[in-house]
Structure 1
């Protein structure tokens, strides 16, 4: 029989303890039993990676105190409480203080099995989260700047290391938001030019009539408004590196002048005929291949395209998404955990804005504990909610709708599960499963009378 995981069962009634343990073992779990709370605390170790199932009323310790002491040993330990009808208030308090779930006596054994499976899934999720945190903590150098454990990102880092000291011009290709400037700066920082300036220039943001002055500088009186001399970006980058982002936006008339400056390593300020020697490395970036772009000079393309680095879009390195998301959350000192449903949503999304969009979603998630990942994505910051929702896969859109319906029903009925069951025409087991799936906690909606 397949073994699903370990369960620590705490029950002082020997008959109930034996029957419950037998059921769990038949369901495929490895069960360890204890008669008292203190015996369970003694048996617990930091390496435990299973689920605790405990009666609320024990002869030596109450359920809430037990949760706190067990979670001191194993943080985020899933604890499922078994309660009598009169213990509902205590169970609700326990949920608020960290219990994973509670079942009312008499309970359906299949419901217990489902709850334990979900608890084990959470436990495994927390273990993976710990592994990711440990991975992030040991990162250094380039791995700390360009985070990602995927083969694609390792290849990008390897290319940077290989090209850094070759001092050749480089074109970086990648979609919007994938980190082209970060890669360019990393090339500079790991090169022998790192003591000089790294000068970044967004070519698409410069008005055409100011382009020449911005690149090459100008002398006083060279044109109306030139009240004093000013050095250009290429001269300022002397002995260092210049990064030409969105280089495809350079006006055609300026491309020949840029080509000459890069090729001859000389610039001429606007308003003078005097040439000035410079020594720069040119790193360019574009969203698409420049070779077949009719508005980009082929001779400039070949001058820039001595080497190239292609940054993969986020959707092609899915294994990095959760890692990056949690890293961005940690920048805000957030302790929120991603539910399994949240992780599925992140992995299933297309990320048209790449890492920049991921950082934005992570920031919202870290700062607002009331919203899920799906809700943030469905109301993207740069679009209307409807058009943003349309970018999500159908399965995720259906999950978002289901979560919203369930939330509204719980809120409307103040956590009364029977009323929610009646409204949605669903059995209790299905309601419980969907609440677990969407990370909804009954204690957040429950009324003071217990919300049966």
Structure 2
């Protein structure tokens, strides 16, 4: 079966398979030659029985059959194939008196009919259209199967060896009930993997998957968010609050961007991991918790230079099992498959038909390095679904455009390059300020000052419905 990755990013054209059924040897030979000269892989058969013996439901091509044949005729062949696979394109070749029957067969699901006599280009055009339809049907089937394998809403999609190993490892670890540390660049799908660990485990039946982004919560509230508090624990604490850790009891606690956790809380988290108990603010009570902890980081915590203020003992406690998620540039063969999945999902979300993929988009999928990884690819697919692909490709340049630099001073060139990098980050993260700030590594005020200086409208990078 031809994969979406192959169809979107082909290194060489995939074979276009056609089964041509006709009991007339001369017509069979002439039409086979026409199709072969057009680059198709043709299997010519003298009768319907031979076709039924050969064809299976996963046949990747199309069938062209004459209607008038001895024994099993073309209409009977169509109906038998339709029972095996209703989406298999069957093209009927009819004489003048058979057109009415052919039209009725189309109502029943036949792809098309060609009345005799017909020019070669009529046959070629119909077969090519049918092959395109067959390719899309098989791509969608594969995507659905991959989604089922990954767990419905958990698109751990990829045919590369590294993704196949990752799926096997996640399934193996799901019920092992050990804490897991996930390492990967921004946008590689760390939360997707964490969710899969929960959904594929027995804990999914007990309690929730509780996610906490340690980098998004202000330091003043993160302790209360994680550990909870009793009334009067601090100014403004009027009611009891169950913390995220306690809320995850019997379930899974996902700590994203764990490297951003304040140092003062790391000691308390270490206690939770070692004793499996939590003490809310404002009380001496110790409450046992039964939970799996999955932490995610975008830096290598085993490297002291990258670890920074992160406690080494906490790292070793989290590092029971470590999963490393590869960046998209290390599994480029998955780009086409992922893009097909995200494009179909985006079209459904926007209630639009799945658009044709232009040659420009195909070239971009091959050439772009995807610094924002799977998240960037998903956003690009949404722009393609909305017909904004050209703007997305323009806004997501990964290299500076030196057009017009002739005669410019070095400071002017640096200004242009800076503006390009800011637009690149905004396009990657669809105008999300926090993610863009994180990618650029600059303070919020500096970011807005630069937007104003370069005349960049952040809102222009947001998609409708975000």
Tell me the matched-pair count.
361
Q: Which of 306, 315, 323 in structure 2 is aligned with 1:309?
A: 323
Of 383, 391, 398, which aligns to 1:386? Answer: 391
- For 1:128 and 1:24, how far apart are their aligned partners in 2? 24
TM-score norm. by structure 1 comes to 0.56
Q: Does 1:160 align with 2:175?
A: no
TM-aligned CA deviation for residue 308 of structure 1: 0.9
The match for 2:294 is 283
Which whole-Å CA distance do the structure 1 matches of 2:169 and 2:352 have between them? 35
C-alpha distance in 2 between matches for 1:100 and 1:352: 45
Alpha-carbon displacement from aligned partner over 1:340-398 (angstroms, at most 9, x marks no partner) = 97995796365555555666677x6xxxxxxxxx8338726xxxx5244454899xxxx
1:17 CA displacement: 6.7
Deviation, 1:32, is 3.6
The CA distance in 2 between the partners of 1:205 and 1:140, in whole Å, is: 28
Paired position in structure 1 for 2:427? none
**Does the CA-based 8 Å contact 2:21-2:46 persist in structure 1?**
yes
Aligned to 1:375: 384
Paired residue secondary structure (1:230) = coil
Contact 2:150 2:167 in 1 (8 A): no
CA–CA separation in structure 2 for the residues paired with 1:113 and 1:302: 64
2:231–2:240: 8 Å Cα contact kept in structure 1? yes
**Deviation of 1:284 (Å):** 1.0
Distance in 1, matches of 2:369 and 2:131, equals 29
**8 Å Cα contact 1:51-1:120 kept in structure 2:** yes
207, 217, 223: which is aligned to 1:212? 223
Match of 1:151 in 2: 161
TM score, norm. by length of structure 2 = 0.55
2:337 aligned with 1:322: yes
- SS of equivalent residue, structure 2 residue 286: strand
The answer to whether the Cα contact below 8 Å between 2:28 and 2:44 also exists between their aligned partners in 1 is no
Q: CA deviation at 1:252?
A: 3.8
User: 1:180 and 2:190 equivalent?
Assistant: yes
* Counterparts of 1:107 and 1:393, CA distance in 2: 49
Distance in 2 between the 1:228 and 1:254 partners? 22
How far has the Cα of 1:314 moved from its partner?
Answer: 4.6
Q: What does the per-residue CA deviation read over 1:170-194, in whole Å, with 9 as the maximum and x for residues that have no partner?
A: 2112344443234324434566766
- RMSD over aligned Cα, in angstroms? 5.7
Stretch moving more, 167-176 or 320-329? 320-329
Q: CA deviation at 1:263?
A: 4.3
Select between 343-352 and 213-222 the one with higher mean Cα deviation.
Answer: 343-352
Secondary structure at 1:293's aligned position in 2?
Answer: helix
> Hey, what's the Cα distance between the residues in 2 that align with 1:17 and 1:118?
21
CA distance in 2, matches of 1:196, 1:211: 22
Following superposition of structure 1 onto structure 2, how do residues 40-439 of structure 1 map, counting pairs within 5 Å? 45=52, 48=55, 49=59, 50-52=61-63, 72=82, 75-78=86-89, 99=111, 107=119, 123=134, 126=137, 130=141, 139=149, 146=156, 148-164=158-174, 167-188=177-198, 195=206, 198-238=209-249, 240-263=251-274, 265-272=276-283, 274=284, 276-279=286-289, 280-290=291-301, 291=303, 292-293=305-306, 295-299=308-312, 300-314=314-328, 316=331, 318-319=333-334, 322=337, 325-326=340-341, 329=344, 348=366, 354-355=373-374, 375-376=384-385, 379=388, 386-389=391-394, 391=396
CA-to-aligned-CA distance 1:206-228 (integer Å, 9 cap, x gap): 12211121122222123332112
Distance in 2 (CA, whole Å) between partners of 1:221 and 1:120 is: 70
SS, match of residue 318 in structure 1: helix
